[in-house]
Amino acid sequence: MHKLTSQSDWIARARAVLPAGGFGNFDPGIVIARGEGSRVWDEDGKEYIDYLIGSGPMLLGHGHPEVMEAVLEQLPKGMTFFANNAKGIELAEAIVDAVPCCEQVRFVASGGEADMYAIRLARAYTGKHKILKFEGGYHGMSAEAQMSLAPDKHVNFPQAVPDSAGIPQGVADQMFIAPYNDLAAVEALLSEHDDIAAIIAEPLQRIIPAVPGYLQGLRDLCDKHSVLLIFDEIVTGFRLAYGGAQERYGVTPDICTLGKIIGGGFPLAALGASTEIMQHFDKSIVGGDKWLMQLGTLSGNPIAAAAGLKTMEVLKREGNYDRLRGIGRTLQDMQSGALDAAGIPHQICGDETLFDIFFTTSQCRDYRSARHDDPARNATYNTALREHGIFKSLGKLYPSLAITQNDLQQTKAAVEHAVRSISRS
């Protein structure tokens, strides 16, 4: 049997069996062989500093020894049971202890699944059916979430635009779309429509920060109009702070969703709310008509729970969030400094724990303004970074606690090369 030794072999094999040659997540032109600490290696052995970190979950880096020890301790005891297990219960306790809005949680296997159930839970609790989301907001792959995620054409608000084939018009009819960071638009919609069950929002929308007072404004409007507020904290949970965006910004939603970090690199997510709202998962309390059916083969599996518990324990230790923000600030400053010196207009957009660059002179405050004046410049910049050992997506940079001073020095050299590349283009 031919032994595959090169990345090109793997790419060819993937093209034969995977649509578009990939998993649908990332550039299929690179095949990762392994990760360790702050680094990943492709199948040709090329080494990269990892600022993708699995799209967020590997906040401690790859193969963290304490997480590995926790997983290896659990493995011989069983991988999954489709039944309650101690590790899952401990993880639920830790989440309830950390996250302000959570009195109870339910586990699922992915963030998109958690967001789907959060929307359904809001409808079950309120008895209303319309959902308000923000243009450009990412909430997974459900039909509701695929409304106005990345529309190619601008339509008038609050019209919803499906981003995928296969979604019935009836789904769009149940959705209202508003621009992010625009409280007046939200207030107008809530005043005009009394059938809105919930607003679902990322407290940090992709990498677009909420302007001061915006999240509290959403909270106040939801209270005024008897609408539930859902925070999608799949990304921000245990990243912006141990208690997530709720702790960082001091605004508590009615329902939140969590993922990525709480699984420690394994498939696990959750949604949480008050006991009163979460009782809709308990048929013995609410009865058949108001019961929200939810189950999943791997929900709360003990391997992911063990990894998540240990990851959260490490993150909670004194100084770790300060260190993470320090790494992020250094990465921001090195890029802004090099771009400023070259006279290249740009905006750093996001939080120190998650951000990227827009090559624009405009302030980035919503989907329509957060864009590159010249998208080709961004592509050139990121291609140059990749060529010099920096692994990241085209639109996000995730710092991790595994990043070292040597990594930062190497990143600075790569950034300086990338800036020279776009200066010549």
- Exposure string of 44-67, with b = 16+ CB inside 10 Å and e = fewer, is eeeebbbbbbbebbbbbbbebeeb
Nearest to 137 by CA among 196, 206, 189, 184: 206
CB 150, CB 383: distance < 8 Å: no
**CA 192 – CA 422 distance, rounded (Å):** 48
Selecting among 48, 138, 214, 381, the annotated active-site residue is 138
CA distance 284 to 59: 39
| Dihedral-angle region of residue 166 (phi above 0 means left; psi in -120 to 50 means alpha; beta otherwise) | left
Query: What is the C-alpha to C-alpha distance for residues 322 and 369, in angstroms, rounded to an integer?
Result: 30
**Catalytic entry in 232, 254, 351, 356:** 232
Catalytic residue status for 232: yes
Catalytic option among 260, 310, 381, 407: 260
- Angle at CA of residue 88, ends 106 and 60, nearest 5°: 100
196 phi and psi, to 5 degrees? Answer: -90, 120
Residue 120's Cα: distance from chain center in Å?
20
Is 260 one of the annotated active-site residues of the chain? yes
Task: For Cα atoms 252, 257, 262, give the angle at the middle one, nearest 5 degrees.
Answer: 110
Give catalytic residues, as residue numbers. Answer: 138, 232, 260
